[in-house]
Amino acid sequence: SKAAALSTEASTVSFTIPSEMKAWTYTEYGGIDVLKLESDVVVPEIGEDQVLIRVAAAALNPVDFKRRQGKFKATDSPLPTVPGYDVAGVVVRVGSQVKQFKEGDEVYGDISEKALEGPKQFGSLAEYTAVEEKLLALKPNNLDFAQAASLPLAIETAYEGLQRAAFSDGKSILVLGGAGGVGSLVIQLAKQVFGASRVAATSSTGKLSFIQSLGADEAIDYTERSFEETPEKFDVVYDAVGQGERAVKALKEGGVAVFLTGAVASPGFRFVVTSNGETLKKLNPYLEKGKIKPVIDPKGPFPFDRVNEAFSYLETNRATGKVVIFPIP
């Protein structure tokens, strides 16, 4: 298998790096049709604080298609763009100031520190990508590359939102969009890491048992009833879908809502994650003990030559967990 081959090569710690690589690119903003698979993209150079990763797997996030549509033009990196934030792969070259990693290490991370402010021009949907050491962590031993690639941006977003909301032991939380990439991890983190007393989450009818399997004490079918009418209110509402005014109606007195998208209602706030390898390192023990599990949509992983299909699927907003690209190339 590709993963086994990468691990075998990692043990020999001897890498031949080509000058050109396969990568998905776009030279203009627009729909899925602007994406092109190129075979002659220059392999990126690394800075002294960076490593070069031979990419084994990547994952897609809503920010990827919103960026491609030109919604963040004002702060985007220059075109042409190789999209992709999430990566898992093998370190094949290290910069002169890199201390934590060596050639052959299996790593994962979100490669752009700020998702919207000058994100990487050359992302993870490529055979190689360059990334700062501080954004990466060693891949958990029990996860394969596809599972590891599904995590970084979503788990860092889930964790940072809970931290910013001052979520802590004994508090209650309602997760809107519990079956999605971020929501599925908020449920698990709230329960396993932060010590929630009660976790409720919303989903469509067919995903209720799934969100219960992640640890939700109460699964609310949003097609059948309004979550804000739940008699017992919550300390935190984590809104991953953009419900604004409805979300804050489910809060207790003194509670707070976390918004990832859509209008912000009071008392609540919206934030964009800051990528940080230290968060991944902190969460690795929970992943390695199986207390937090990656969730890959059952339609995937999508092979590298079907990235456009993966984007089409992601843009339906029907994915369960994460849409993963594996193997690469």
**Is the fold of 20-139+296-325 the same as that of 157-270?**
no
Q: Are 155 and 35 in contact (CB under 8 A)?
A: no
- To the question of domain 157-270 being in CATH 2.70.170.10, the answer is no
**Smallest Cα–Cα separation from 235: which of 183, 200, 260?**
200
Look at the block and give the residue holding tokens 């050359």. 122
Could you give the angle at which helices 183-192 and 152-164 cross, rounded to 10 degrees?
A: 60
Q: Are 249 and 176 in contact (CB under 8 A)?
A: no
What is the rounded CA–CA span in Å between residue 48 and residue 157? 27
Q: Are 179 and 210 in contact (CB under 8 A)?
A: yes
Whether the ω angle into residue 298 lies within 30 degrees of 0, i.e. cis, is no
Sequence spans of domains, the chain: 20-139+296-325, 157-270
Burial class (CB in 10 A: 0-12, 13-18, 19+), 292: buried
What is the rounded CA–CA span in Å between residue 49 and residue 126? 20
Four-way CATH pick for 20-139+296-325: 3.40.190.10, 3.90.180.10, 3.40.50.970, 3.30.1330.10: 3.90.180.10
pLDDT value at residue 14: 76
Strand 50-60 and strand 323-325: the pairing is antiparallel
Each of the 329 residues of the chain gets a pLDDT tens digit; together they read: 556 555 545 444 679 999 999 999 999 999 999 999 999 999 999 999 999 999 999 999 999 999 999 999 999 999 999 999 999 999 999 999 999 999 999 999 999 999 999 999 999 999 999 999 999 999 999 999 999 999 999 999 999 999 999 999 999 999 999 999 999 999 999 999 999 999 999 999 999 999 999 999 999 999 999 999 899 999 999 999 999 999 999 999 999 999 999 999 999 999 999 999 999 999 999 999 999 999 999 999 999 999 999 999 999 999 999 999 999 99
Query: Could you tell me the two tokens for 108?
Result: 């994962």
Query: Could you tell me the two tokens for 45?
Result: 């150079």
pLDDT value at residue 10: 47
